[in-house]
Amino acid sequence: MSKIKMTAKVVSQEMIGTDIYSMWIQAEGIAAQTRAGQFVSVYTKDASKLLPRPISICEIDREAGTLRLVYRIAGGGTKEFSGYRAGDTVTVLGPLGNGFPEIAADRHAFLIGGGIGIPPMLELAKELHCEKTAVLGYRDAQLFLKEEFESYAKVVVATEDGSVGTKGNVLDAIREQGLTDSDSVILACGPTPMLRALKAFAAEHRIECWLSLEERMACGVGACLACVCQTGEVDAHSNVHNKRICKDGPVFEAGEVEL
Protein backbone atom coordinates (compact mmCIF):
# COMPACT_ATOMS: atom_id res chain seq x y z
CA MET A 1 0.00 0.00 0.00
CA SER A 2 1.54 3.31 -1.08
CA LYS A 3 0.80 6.78 0.23
CA ILE A 4 -0.43 9.32 -2.29
CA LYS A 5 -0.25 13.10 -1.96
CA MET A 6 -2.75 14.67 -4.29
CA THR A 7 -5.02 17.60 -4.97
CA ALA A 8 -8.55 16.37 -4.39
CA LYS A 9 -11.78 18.07 -5.42
CA VAL A 10 -14.49 18.74 -2.87
CA VAL A 11 -17.68 16.99 -4.00
CA SER A 12 -19.94 18.27 -1.21
CA GLN A 13 -19.91 19.58 2.32
CA GLU A 14 -22.58 20.02 5.00
CA MET A 15 -22.78 20.75 8.71
CA ILE A 16 -24.25 17.75 10.56
CA GLY A 17 -23.91 18.98 14.15
CA THR A 18 -22.57 21.91 16.14
CA ASP A 19 -19.11 22.52 14.64
CA ILE A 20 -19.22 19.07 12.99
CA TYR A 21 -18.91 18.86 9.21
CA SER A 22 -19.18 16.11 6.61
CA MET A 23 -17.09 16.56 3.46
CA TRP A 24 -16.91 14.21 0.48
CA ILE A 25 -13.76 14.53 -1.65
CA GLN A 26 -12.81 13.04 -5.02
CA ALA A 27 -9.61 11.07 -4.39
CA GLU A 28 -9.56 7.98 -6.60
CA GLY A 29 -6.04 6.76 -5.88
CA ILE A 30 -6.48 6.97 -2.12
CA ALA A 31 -10.02 5.57 -2.06
CA ALA A 32 -8.92 2.49 -4.00
CA GLN A 33 -6.44 1.50 -1.25
CA THR A 34 -8.11 2.66 1.95
CA ARG A 35 -9.41 0.38 4.72
CA ALA A 36 -11.75 1.17 7.60
CA GLY A 37 -9.76 2.72 10.44
CA GLN A 38 -7.20 4.56 8.32
CA PHE A 39 -6.94 8.34 7.98
CA VAL A 40 -5.69 11.08 5.69
CA SER A 41 -3.65 14.19 6.37
CA VAL A 42 -5.34 17.32 5.05
CA TYR A 43 -3.25 20.41 4.25
CA THR A 44 -4.47 23.97 4.74
CA LYS A 45 -4.00 26.72 2.17
CA ASP A 46 -2.49 28.97 4.86
CA ALA A 47 1.28 29.07 4.33
CA SER A 48 1.80 29.85 8.02
CA LYS A 49 0.31 26.46 8.96
CA LEU A 50 2.96 23.99 7.83
CA LEU A 51 1.57 20.82 9.33
CA PRO A 52 -1.44 18.93 7.94
CA ARG A 53 -4.47 17.95 10.01
CA PRO A 54 -5.16 14.22 10.45
CA ILE A 55 -8.81 13.33 9.77
CA SER A 56 -10.25 9.83 10.02
CA ILE A 57 -12.06 8.34 7.07
CA CYS A 58 -15.77 7.98 7.71
CA GLU A 59 -16.85 6.33 4.45
CA ILE A 60 -15.25 5.03 1.28
CA ASP A 61 -16.94 4.82 -2.12
CA ARG A 62 -14.36 2.93 -4.16
CA GLU A 63 -16.55 2.81 -7.27
CA ALA A 64 -16.94 6.60 -7.32
CA GLY A 65 -13.39 7.16 -6.03
CA THR A 66 -14.56 9.32 -3.14
CA LEU A 67 -13.91 9.59 0.60
CA ARG A 68 -16.13 11.02 3.32
CA LEU A 69 -14.37 12.99 6.06
CA VAL A 70 -16.38 13.89 9.16
CA TYR A 71 -14.57 16.23 11.53
CA ARG A 72 -15.09 18.75 14.31
CA ILE A 73 -13.74 22.31 14.15
CA ALA A 74 -10.86 22.29 16.62
CA GLY A 75 -8.69 25.17 15.42
CA GLY A 76 -7.76 27.35 12.50
CA GLY A 77 -7.08 24.50 10.08
CA THR A 78 -10.37 22.69 10.50
CA LYS A 79 -12.16 26.06 10.55
CA GLU A 80 -10.69 26.69 7.10
CA PHE A 81 -11.83 23.26 5.87
CA SER A 82 -15.38 23.96 7.04
CA GLY A 83 -15.58 26.82 4.55
CA TYR A 84 -14.84 24.64 1.51
CA ARG A 85 -17.62 24.14 -1.01
CA ALA A 86 -18.23 21.80 -3.94
CA GLY A 87 -15.65 22.44 -6.64
CA ASP A 88 -12.95 23.70 -4.27
CA THR A 89 -9.67 21.79 -4.07
CA VAL A 90 -7.82 20.41 -1.08
CA THR A 91 -4.42 18.72 -0.77
CA VAL A 92 -4.48 15.36 1.02
CA LEU A 93 -1.99 12.59 1.81
CA GLY A 94 -3.12 9.02 2.36
CA PRO A 95 -4.07 6.41 3.14
CA LEU A 96 -2.18 6.59 6.44
CA GLY A 97 -1.90 4.26 9.43
CA ASN A 98 -3.31 0.79 9.70
CA GLY A 99 -6.94 -0.28 9.79
CA PHE A 100 -9.18 -2.44 11.91
CA PRO A 101 -8.71 -6.23 11.59
CA GLU A 102 -11.07 -8.50 9.74
CA ILE A 103 -13.60 -10.23 11.98
CA ALA A 104 -14.92 -13.74 11.28
CA ALA A 105 -18.54 -13.93 10.14
CA ASP A 106 -19.55 -16.03 13.16
CA ARG A 107 -18.38 -13.41 15.68
CA HIS A 108 -20.39 -10.55 17.23
CA ALA A 109 -18.64 -7.22 16.80
CA PHE A 110 -19.31 -4.26 19.09
CA LEU A 111 -18.41 -1.07 17.28
CA ILE A 112 -17.97 1.60 19.93
CA GLY A 113 -17.52 5.26 19.10
CA GLY A 114 -17.35 8.28 21.38
CA GLY A 115 -17.75 11.84 20.10
CA ILE A 116 -15.64 12.50 17.03
CA GLY A 117 -14.46 8.87 17.35
CA ILE A 118 -17.84 7.84 15.92
CA PRO A 119 -17.17 8.63 12.21
CA PRO A 120 -14.45 6.02 11.49
CA MET A 121 -16.70 3.28 12.87
CA LEU A 122 -19.25 3.81 10.07
CA GLU A 123 -17.08 2.41 7.28
CA LEU A 124 -16.20 -0.49 9.58
CA ALA A 125 -19.92 -1.18 10.07
CA LYS A 126 -20.28 -1.33 6.30
CA GLU A 127 -17.28 -3.61 5.73
CA LEU A 128 -17.77 -6.25 8.44
CA HIS A 129 -19.87 -9.28 7.51
CA CYS A 130 -20.84 -10.42 10.98
CA GLU A 131 -23.43 -9.57 13.61
CA LYS A 132 -22.82 -5.96 14.68
CA THR A 133 -23.94 -3.70 17.49
CA ALA A 134 -22.89 -0.05 17.37
CA VAL A 135 -22.64 1.68 20.75
CA LEU A 136 -22.42 5.42 20.15
CA GLY A 137 -21.64 8.02 22.79
CA TYR A 138 -22.75 11.63 22.34
CA ARG A 139 -22.74 14.79 24.46
CA ASP A 140 -26.42 15.50 23.83
CA ALA A 141 -29.31 14.82 21.44
CA GLN A 142 -27.31 15.82 18.33
CA LEU A 143 -26.97 12.24 17.13
CA PHE A 144 -24.86 12.77 14.03
CA LEU A 145 -24.48 9.66 11.80
CA LYS A 146 -26.89 7.57 13.94
CA GLU A 147 -29.29 6.98 11.05
CA GLU A 148 -26.46 5.88 8.76
CA PHE A 149 -25.33 3.31 11.35
CA GLU A 150 -28.85 1.88 11.56
CA SER A 151 -28.51 0.63 7.98
CA TYR A 152 -25.66 -1.68 8.99
CA ALA A 153 -25.94 -2.51 12.71
CA LYS A 154 -28.15 -2.53 15.77
CA VAL A 155 -27.58 0.86 17.42
CA VAL A 156 -27.37 1.65 21.15
CA VAL A 157 -26.96 5.29 22.24
CA ALA A 158 -25.55 6.92 25.34
CA THR A 159 -25.69 10.68 25.98
CA GLU A 160 -23.84 12.59 28.67
CA ASP A 161 -26.91 14.68 29.48
CA GLY A 162 -29.34 11.72 29.36
CA SER A 163 -31.46 13.30 26.63
CA VAL A 164 -31.40 10.11 24.51
CA GLY A 165 -30.70 6.50 25.43
CA THR A 166 -28.56 5.67 28.44
CA LYS A 167 -27.46 8.61 30.58
CA GLY A 168 -23.69 8.50 30.79
CA ASN A 169 -21.02 7.03 28.54
CA VAL A 170 -20.70 4.03 26.24
CA LEU A 171 -19.61 1.74 29.06
CA ASP A 172 -22.72 2.70 31.03
CA ALA A 173 -24.80 1.66 28.00
CA ILE A 174 -22.92 -1.62 27.66
CA ARG A 175 -23.50 -2.49 31.32
CA GLU A 176 -27.11 -1.31 31.36
CA GLN A 177 -28.04 -3.52 28.42
CA GLY A 178 -25.82 -6.45 29.36
CA LEU A 179 -23.97 -6.33 26.08
CA THR A 180 -20.96 -8.44 25.00
CA ASP A 181 -19.80 -11.92 25.91
CA SER A 182 -16.44 -13.68 25.85
CA ASP A 183 -16.84 -14.64 22.16
CA SER A 184 -17.55 -11.09 21.05
CA VAL A 185 -14.99 -8.53 19.95
CA ILE A 186 -14.80 -4.82 20.78
CA LEU A 187 -13.58 -2.33 18.18
CA ALA A 188 -13.51 1.24 19.44
CA CYS A 189 -12.47 4.80 18.73
CA GLY A 190 -12.82 7.79 21.01
CA PRO A 191 -11.17 9.86 23.71
CA THR A 192 -8.47 8.27 25.86
CA PRO A 193 -10.56 7.96 29.08
CA MET A 194 -13.18 5.99 27.12
CA LEU A 195 -10.57 3.71 25.58
CA ARG A 196 -8.88 3.18 28.94
CA ALA A 197 -12.20 2.10 30.47
CA LEU A 198 -12.96 -0.22 27.57
CA LYS A 199 -9.51 -1.80 27.82
CA ALA A 200 -10.10 -2.57 31.51
CA PHE A 201 -13.62 -3.86 30.81
CA ALA A 202 -12.38 -6.13 28.02
CA ALA A 203 -9.54 -7.49 30.18
CA GLU A 204 -11.95 -8.16 33.06
CA HIS A 205 -14.35 -10.08 30.81
CA ARG A 206 -11.64 -11.62 28.61
CA ILE A 207 -12.99 -10.01 25.45
CA GLU A 208 -10.83 -9.38 22.39
CA CYS A 209 -10.48 -5.61 22.03
CA TRP A 210 -9.03 -3.30 19.39
CA LEU A 211 -8.64 0.43 20.01
CA SER A 212 -8.15 3.31 17.58
CA LEU A 213 -6.23 6.01 19.43
CA GLU A 214 -6.92 9.70 19.01
CA GLU A 215 -3.84 11.89 19.24
CA ARG A 216 -2.45 15.17 17.92
CA MET A 217 -0.12 14.36 15.04
CA ALA A 218 2.53 16.36 13.23
CA CYS A 219 4.04 14.59 10.23
CA GLY A 220 1.47 11.77 10.01
CA VAL A 221 4.03 9.31 8.61
CA GLY A 222 6.01 8.24 11.69
CA ALA A 223 9.13 10.36 11.29
CA CYS A 224 8.76 13.00 13.98
CA LEU A 225 7.77 10.89 17.05
CA ALA A 226 5.23 13.52 18.14
CA CYS A 227 2.38 11.06 18.60
CA VAL A 228 3.87 8.13 20.48
CA CYS A 229 2.10 5.90 22.98
CA GLN A 230 3.69 3.63 25.57
CA THR A 231 3.81 -0.08 24.80
CA GLY A 232 5.26 -3.27 26.19
CA GLU A 233 7.49 -3.79 23.17
CA VAL A 234 10.56 -1.83 22.09
CA ASP A 235 9.97 0.16 18.92
CA ALA A 236 12.57 -0.53 16.22
CA HIS A 237 12.54 3.12 15.14
CA SER A 238 12.96 4.85 18.51
CA ASN A 239 14.46 1.92 20.52
CA VAL A 240 12.18 2.66 23.49
CA HIS A 241 8.86 1.29 24.73
CA ASN A 242 6.87 3.51 22.40
CA LYS A 243 4.92 3.10 19.20
CA ARG A 244 3.95 5.79 16.76
CA ILE A 245 0.18 6.20 16.61
CA CYS A 246 0.24 7.57 13.05
CA LYS A 247 2.52 4.84 11.66
CA ASP A 248 2.08 1.75 13.88
CA GLY A 249 -1.55 2.62 14.66
CA PRO A 250 -3.91 4.26 15.03
CA VAL A 251 -5.49 0.83 15.65
CA PHE A 252 -3.85 -1.36 18.31
CA GLU A 253 -4.81 -4.54 20.13
CA ALA A 254 -5.77 -3.27 23.58
CA GLY A 255 -3.12 -5.26 25.43
CA GLU A 256 -0.40 -3.77 23.26
CA VAL A 257 -0.66 -0.19 24.54
CA GLU A 258 -0.63 1.62 27.88
CA LEU A 259 -3.33 4.26 28.25
Give 241's strand partners. Answer: none
Strand order across the 131-138 sheet: 166-167, 154-159, 131-138, 108-114, 184-190, 208-213, 251-253
- Give the pLDDT score at 182: 77
Please report whether residue 249 resides in a domain: no
- Give the pLDDT score at 222: 43
- Residue-wise pLDDT for 225-258, tens only, equals 444 445 555 555 555 455 555 556 589 999 888 7
The angle formed by the CA atoms of residues 68, 72 and 75, to the nearest 5 degrees, is 125
The domain spanning residue 25 has which CATH number?
A: 2.40.30.10
Model pTM score: 0.89
Q: Which of 71, 96, 121 is the last residue of a domain?
A: 96
Please report whether residue 150 resides in a domain: yes
Please report whether residue 243 resides in a domain: no
Same domain, 127 and 155: yes
Please report whether residue 244 resides in a domain: no
Please report whether residue 255 resides in a domain: no
- Give the pLDDT score at 179: 81
The candidate with the shortest Cα–Cα distance to 190, out of 167, 213, 209, 172, is 213
Say if residues 189 and 212 touch (Cβ distance below 8 Å).
Answer: yes
Instruction: Kindly give the parts of the chain with pLDDT less than 70.
Output: 1, 214-249
- Give the pLDDT score at 247: 56
Q: Which of 214, 233, 254 is the last residue of a domain?
A: 214
**What is the residue range of 49's domain?**
4-96
- Give the pLDDT score at 220: 43
How many Å apart are CA 11 and CA 26, to the nearest integer? 6
- Residue-wise pLDDT for 18-37, tens only, equals 999 999 999 999 999 999 99
Same domain, 34 and 113: no
Q: How many domains does the chain have?
A: 2
Same domain, 87 and 112: no
Same domain, 152 and 82: no
Same domain, 121 and 196: yes
